[in-house]
Amino acid sequence: MAWWEATARIDGRVVSPDATTLARNPRSAQRALRALYNSAFFSRVGTRALIFDFKQVNRYLSDPDLRLAARKRVLDRITPHTRVVIAHSLGSVVAYEALCSAPDHSVRALVTLGSPLGMRLIFDRLDPTPQGAWPGGTHPDFTWTNITDPSDPVAAIDDLTTQFGTHVRAAQVHNGPHAHDATSYLTDTITGQATAEGLIDG
Protein backbone atom coordinates (compact mmCIF):
# COMPACT_ATOMS: atom_id res chain seq x y z
CA MET A 1 0.00 0.00 0.00
CA ALA A 2 2.86 2.38 0.80
CA TRP A 3 4.46 1.73 -2.61
CA TRP A 4 1.10 2.27 -4.30
CA GLU A 5 0.55 5.63 -2.59
CA ALA A 6 4.13 6.73 -3.32
CA THR A 7 3.95 5.66 -6.96
CA ALA A 8 0.65 7.48 -7.48
CA ARG A 9 2.33 10.71 -6.33
CA ILE A 10 5.12 10.53 -8.92
CA ASP A 11 3.53 8.71 -11.87
CA GLY A 12 0.36 10.10 -13.43
CA ARG A 13 -0.54 6.73 -14.96
CA VAL A 14 -1.18 5.25 -11.52
CA VAL A 15 -4.54 5.94 -9.89
CA SER A 16 -4.40 6.92 -6.23
CA PRO A 17 -5.71 4.36 -3.74
CA ASP A 18 -8.07 7.04 -2.45
CA ALA A 19 -9.37 8.08 -5.89
CA THR A 20 -13.13 8.27 -6.31
CA THR A 21 -14.40 5.75 -8.85
CA LEU A 22 -17.83 4.54 -9.99
CA ALA A 23 -17.35 1.19 -8.32
CA ARG A 24 -16.25 0.41 -4.82
CA ASN A 25 -12.53 -0.37 -4.86
CA PRO A 26 -11.15 -1.81 -1.64
CA ARG A 27 -7.55 -1.03 -0.68
CA SER A 28 -6.55 -4.64 -1.26
CA ALA A 29 -3.18 -6.13 -2.13
CA GLN A 30 -4.51 -7.36 -5.48
CA ARG A 31 -5.77 -3.91 -6.42
CA ALA A 32 -2.46 -2.40 -5.32
CA LEU A 33 -0.52 -4.78 -7.57
CA ARG A 34 -2.79 -3.99 -10.53
CA ALA A 35 -2.28 -0.26 -9.98
CA LEU A 36 1.49 -0.62 -9.67
CA TYR A 37 1.73 -2.44 -12.97
CA ASN A 38 0.43 0.70 -14.68
CA SER A 39 3.57 2.55 -13.61
CA ALA A 40 6.69 3.01 -15.69
CA PHE A 41 8.80 1.36 -13.01
CA PHE A 42 6.78 -1.60 -11.80
CA SER A 43 5.54 -2.57 -15.26
CA ARG A 44 9.04 -3.93 -15.91
CA VAL A 45 9.14 -5.97 -12.71
CA GLY A 46 7.80 -9.52 -12.82
CA THR A 47 4.97 -10.46 -10.45
CA ARG A 48 7.04 -13.08 -8.67
CA ALA A 49 9.95 -10.67 -8.20
CA LEU A 50 7.68 -7.93 -6.87
CA ILE A 51 5.95 -10.25 -4.40
CA PHE A 52 9.37 -11.54 -3.31
CA ASP A 53 10.46 -7.96 -2.58
CA PHE A 54 7.31 -7.37 -0.52
CA LYS A 55 7.99 -10.54 1.47
CA GLN A 56 11.65 -9.70 1.93
CA VAL A 57 10.88 -6.28 3.43
CA ASN A 58 8.16 -7.69 5.68
CA ARG A 59 10.33 -10.57 6.85
CA TYR A 60 13.19 -8.27 7.79
CA LEU A 61 10.87 -6.00 9.76
CA SER A 62 9.00 -8.79 11.53
CA ASP A 63 11.66 -11.46 12.18
CA PRO A 64 13.88 -10.33 15.10
CA ASP A 65 16.46 -13.09 14.61
CA LEU A 66 16.87 -12.34 10.90
CA ARG A 67 17.06 -8.64 11.64
CA LEU A 68 19.84 -9.05 14.19
CA ALA A 69 21.72 -11.43 11.90
CA ALA A 70 21.56 -8.96 8.99
CA ARG A 71 22.77 -6.11 11.16
CA LYS A 72 25.60 -8.26 12.51
CA ARG A 73 26.76 -9.05 8.97
CA VAL A 74 27.03 -5.32 8.26
CA LEU A 75 28.87 -4.59 11.51
CA ASP A 76 31.25 -7.52 10.98
CA ARG A 77 32.40 -5.87 7.73
CA ILE A 78 33.12 -2.53 9.41
CA THR A 79 36.71 -2.30 10.67
CA PRO A 80 38.51 0.59 12.39
CA HIS A 81 39.61 1.64 8.89
CA THR A 82 36.12 1.76 7.35
CA ARG A 83 35.15 5.32 6.45
CA VAL A 84 32.13 4.99 4.13
CA VAL A 85 29.07 2.74 4.08
CA ILE A 86 27.05 2.71 0.85
CA ALA A 87 23.65 1.01 1.03
CA HIS A 88 20.90 0.48 -1.54
CA SER A 89 17.15 -0.06 -1.02
CA LEU A 90 16.39 -2.40 1.92
CA GLY A 91 20.14 -2.49 2.56
CA SER A 92 19.91 1.16 3.61
CA VAL A 93 17.48 0.17 6.37
CA VAL A 94 19.87 -2.54 7.60
CA ALA A 95 22.84 -0.17 7.44
CA TYR A 96 20.99 2.60 9.29
CA GLU A 97 19.95 0.28 12.11
CA ALA A 98 23.40 -1.33 12.30
CA LEU A 99 25.22 2.00 12.59
CA CYS A 100 22.76 3.30 15.17
CA SER A 101 23.32 0.18 17.27
CA ALA A 102 27.11 0.67 17.35
CA PRO A 103 27.76 4.38 18.03
CA ASP A 104 31.53 3.92 18.44
CA HIS A 105 32.03 2.86 14.80
CA SER A 106 34.67 4.47 12.59
CA VAL A 107 32.36 5.38 9.68
CA ARG A 108 32.40 9.01 8.58
CA ALA A 109 29.83 8.89 5.78
CA LEU A 110 26.64 7.00 5.06
CA VAL A 111 25.45 7.10 1.45
CA THR A 112 21.94 5.71 0.96
CA LEU A 113 20.69 4.95 -2.56
CA GLY A 114 17.04 4.43 -3.49
CA SER A 115 16.20 4.18 0.19
CA PRO A 116 12.69 3.48 1.54
CA LEU A 117 13.61 4.86 4.99
CA GLY A 118 11.16 7.75 4.68
CA MET A 119 8.13 5.56 3.99
CA ARG A 120 5.83 5.12 7.01
CA LEU A 121 5.84 1.36 6.41
CA ILE A 122 9.55 1.38 7.25
CA PHE A 123 10.00 4.45 9.42
CA ASP A 124 7.42 3.45 12.03
CA ARG A 125 9.13 0.09 12.53
CA LEU A 126 12.78 1.14 12.75
CA ASP A 127 14.85 -0.26 15.61
CA PRO A 128 16.07 1.82 17.29
CA THR A 129 13.45 4.48 16.71
CA PRO A 130 14.88 7.65 15.10
CA GLN A 131 14.11 9.69 18.22
CA GLY A 132 17.50 10.08 19.85
CA ALA A 133 19.24 7.75 17.38
CA TRP A 134 21.75 8.88 14.77
CA PRO A 135 23.81 6.64 12.47
CA GLY A 136 26.80 8.95 12.84
CA GLY A 137 27.49 7.68 16.33
CA THR A 138 30.09 9.76 18.12
CA HIS A 139 31.88 11.07 15.03
CA PRO A 140 31.35 14.89 14.90
CA ASP A 141 31.99 15.21 11.14
CA PHE A 142 29.73 12.35 10.03
CA THR A 143 27.72 12.99 6.86
CA TRP A 144 24.63 11.22 5.57
CA THR A 145 23.73 11.73 1.92
CA ASN A 146 20.44 10.28 0.71
CA ILE A 147 20.43 9.91 -3.08
CA THR A 148 17.20 9.31 -4.97
CA ASP A 149 15.80 9.26 -8.49
CA PRO A 150 12.52 11.23 -8.84
CA SER A 151 11.03 8.26 -10.72
CA ASP A 152 11.98 5.68 -8.08
CA PRO A 153 8.82 4.80 -6.10
CA VAL A 154 10.80 2.89 -3.49
CA ALA A 155 12.52 6.17 -2.61
CA ALA A 156 9.53 8.44 -3.19
CA ILE A 157 10.14 10.18 0.16
CA ASP A 158 13.35 11.86 -0.92
CA ASP A 159 13.59 14.48 1.83
CA LEU A 160 14.42 12.71 5.09
CA THR A 161 15.00 15.84 7.16
CA THR A 162 11.50 15.84 8.65
CA GLN A 163 11.97 12.37 10.09
CA PHE A 164 15.72 12.18 10.71
CA GLY A 165 16.81 15.78 11.20
CA THR A 166 18.35 18.55 9.17
CA HIS A 167 21.77 16.91 8.98
CA VAL A 168 20.60 14.49 6.28
CA ARG A 169 21.50 15.81 2.85
CA ALA A 170 19.34 15.07 -0.18
CA ALA A 171 20.65 14.64 -3.71
CA GLN A 172 18.90 13.59 -6.91
CA VAL A 173 20.11 11.56 -9.86
CA HIS A 174 18.39 10.45 -13.06
CA ASN A 175 18.74 6.75 -13.77
CA GLY A 176 16.61 6.74 -16.91
CA PRO A 177 14.35 3.71 -17.32
CA HIS A 178 16.14 1.89 -14.49
CA ALA A 179 15.07 4.20 -11.68
CA HIS A 180 15.79 1.83 -8.78
CA ASP A 181 18.78 0.03 -10.29
CA ALA A 182 21.72 -0.22 -7.88
CA THR A 183 24.36 -0.01 -10.62
CA SER A 184 22.83 3.19 -12.02
CA TYR A 185 22.91 4.78 -8.58
CA LEU A 186 26.45 3.59 -7.84
CA THR A 187 27.95 4.87 -11.08
CA ASP A 188 26.54 8.39 -10.83
CA THR A 189 28.94 11.25 -10.20
CA ILE A 190 26.93 12.44 -7.19
CA THR A 191 27.41 9.09 -5.47
CA GLY A 192 31.13 9.29 -6.20
CA GLN A 193 31.34 12.76 -4.70
CA ALA A 194 29.49 11.74 -1.53
CA THR A 195 31.76 8.71 -1.19
CA ALA A 196 34.95 10.71 -1.76
CA GLU A 197 33.93 13.19 0.91
CA GLY A 198 33.87 10.43 3.50
CA LEU A 199 37.33 9.24 2.48
CA ILE A 200 39.05 12.59 2.93
CA ASP A 201 40.82 12.84 6.27
CA GLY A 202 39.37 15.65 8.30
Residue 18's pLDDT is what? 79
- What residues contact residue 107 under an 8 Å CB cut-off, 6+ apart? 78, 82, 83, 84, 85, 99, 135, 136, 137, 139, 142, 198
pLDDT at 46: 57
**Per-residue pLDDT at 193:** 96
What pLDDT shows up at residue 150?
87
Q: Which residue segments constitute the domains of the chain, with CATH numbers given?
A: 2-44 (no CATH), 64-199 (3.40.50.1820)
Residue 23 has pLDDT above 90, yes or no: no
Give residue 24's pLDDT. 45
Instruction: Provide the sign of the torsion angle of the four alpha carbons 51, 56, 58, 63, taken in this order.
Output: positive
Upstream peptide bond of 177 is cis (omega within 30 degrees of 0): no
d(CA 185, CA 192): 10
The tens digit of pLDDT for each residue in 160-199 reads 999 999 999 999 999 988 888 999 999 999 999 999 999 9
pLDDT at 135 over 80: yes
In the prediction, which pLDDT does 22 show? 42
- pLDDT, mean of residues 19-45: 63
Spell out the residues 6+ positions from residue 90 whose beta carbon is closer than 8 angstroms to its own.
56, 57, 60, 116
For the CA atoms of 58, 64, 66, 68, the dihedral, rounded to the nearest 10 degrees, stands at: 130
Supply angle C-alpha 121, 47, 8, rounded to 5.
Answer: 50
41 neighbors 152 (Cβ within 8 angstroms): yes
Percent of the chain scored above 70 by pLDDT? 85
Please, what is the average pLDDT of the chain?
Answer: 86
pLDDT in tens, 57-102: 889 999 999 999 999 999 999 999 999 999 999 999 999 999 999 9
